A = this chain, B = another copy of it.
Amino acid sequence: MVNFPSKLIEDAVAEISRLPGIGKKTALRLTLHLLKQNEPVTVSLAESLLSLRKNIRYCARCHNVSDGEICSICAGNKRDKSIICVVEDLPDLLAIENTNQYSGLYHVLGGVISPIQGIGPDELKIESLIQRIDQPDGEQPVSEIIMALPGTMEGDTTAFYLTRKLQDKGVKISTIARGIPVGGELEYTDEVTLGRSILTRIKYSTE
C-alpha cells in the first residue's frame, strides 16, 4: 500500500479497515468519499456512531438493545407475553423479527455455552430468564419457551442445559425446526441435517 500523503487519511483508513469485511482499498475509497462530501456528512456519521456506543442501553427484561429501561418489544402491547423465544444474540432476534412470523417476547442470552471459549452458564443471562418465568412480565403466565439457538454443538449444549434448568417450571419447551431449507435440494443437503429432518418429520394431518 502506498504511503499516504496525510497522517489523517492514514489513520482514517486504518480505523475503517478494522471493520469486518472492509479492506484497505475499500477503506481508502470510503475515506476519499467522505473528504469529497460536505463536512456535515462525516460529522453526522461520526456522531451517530458515538451516540450509538455511548447511549445504547439494554432492556432490563430481555437484554435486547433498547432506548429506554424496557425495549419496544417487551413494552409492545400487541405481543403475546406468554411465549419467550431464547436467542443467542441480537442479529438472531432481528432475523426472527424480520420473518414477521413471531409475535411473542424474546430473551437474549448474550452467547452460548462454549467451554473452549471459556463461556459457561454463568456468563449468560440464564438467571434472569428463570426469573421471568417465575415473575411473568405480562398478566398471563409464561406458557412456552422456544429455543432459537444455533445448530452447533454449543447451541445444542446450551439448549440442553436450559431444558434441564427449566424442566420443573411447568412451561412447554420447544426448539425451532432443523431441516432442509425451503427451496433446498435434498442431494446438496449435508447428511446430518437430512438425517435430522427425517427423524423430526412432521405428520400431514389426514383427518
A residues with CB within 8 A of B? 1-9, 11-12, 14-16, 18-22, 26, 28-35, 39, 41-56, 64-67, 71-73, 90-91, 93-94, 97-98
Contact = CB atoms under 8 A, between A and B. Distances in A.
Contacts of A56: 6, 8-9, 35
Contact of A2 (B14, B49, B97): B97
Given A2-B94, A3-B97, A34 B9 contact: no
Copies of this chain present in the complex amount to 2
Majority secondary structure, A binding face: helix
Given A11-B52, A35-B53, 6 more contacts: A3-B72, A6-B71, A32-B91, A34-B52, A35-B52, A46-B47
B45 A52 contact: no
B35 A42 contact: no
Q: Nearest 5 A-B pairs (CB), nearest first?
A: A42-B53, A46-B46, A15-B48, A12-B52, A46-B49
B52 A39 contact: no
A136 to B, nearest CB: 20
